[in-house]
């Protein structure tokens, strides 16, 4: 957005330009096919792609990362919240299904375990950043804490 501000000199116009979806066929949604995304970025000198951290880390020689307020994405900056362009992964389970659906409780506990969701687990190897408050999530699962939905 800083580029638009510098070029346009108007914060409102810059925000509108950044939030407007293109309808001229130039913006292409390549749902999850990062190889195709990389190919298209390579073929367009000004191309921009959006993908996960692990894909970027595995292709740093081919990609230039976008920073936000001078902060580059990394496991550390995402986990700390310093890099603002990330999102949490939510995992919801109906409490009434615990004890009714065989294996569900074990699965949920495994999903939030250090072995799977911790910083050295396989989810991290796929680019998911371990939640710094994972222990609190593990306690909520162990205690079957419910959340209020709006």
* Residue 73: its H or E element: none
pLDDT digit string, tens, across residues 118-146 = 988 888 877 788 888 889 889 999 999 88
- Position 2 scores a pLDDT of 44
Task: Parse the chain into domains and list their residue ranges.
Answer: 2-80, 95-142
Is the CB of residue 62 less than 8 Å from the CB of residue 39?
no
pLDDT digit string, tens, across residues 32-46 = 667 777 888 888 878
The mean pLDDT of 75-99, rounded to a whole number, is: 86
- Position 23 scores a pLDDT of 77
> pTM score, two decimals?
0.61
């Amino acid at each position: 957005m800083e580029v638009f501000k510098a070029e346009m000199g108007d914060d409102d116009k810059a925000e509108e330009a950044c939030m407007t979806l293109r309808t001229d066929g130039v913006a292409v949604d390549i749902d999850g096919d990062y190889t195709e995304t990389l190919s298209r970025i390579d073929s367009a000198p000004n191309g921009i792609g959006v993908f996960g951290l692990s894909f970027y880390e595995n292709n740093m020689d081919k990609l230039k990362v976008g920073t936000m307020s001078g902060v580059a994405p990394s496991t550390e900056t995402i986990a700390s919240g310093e890099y603002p362009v990330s999102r949490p992964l939510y995992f919801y389970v109906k409490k009434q299904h615990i004890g009714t659906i065989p294996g569900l409780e074990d699965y949920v506990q495994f999903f939030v375990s250090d072995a799977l969701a911790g910083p050295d687990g396989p989810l991290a190897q796929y680019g998911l950043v371990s939640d710094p408050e994972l222990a609190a999530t593990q306690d909520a699962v162990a205690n079957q804490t419910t959340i209020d939905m709006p």
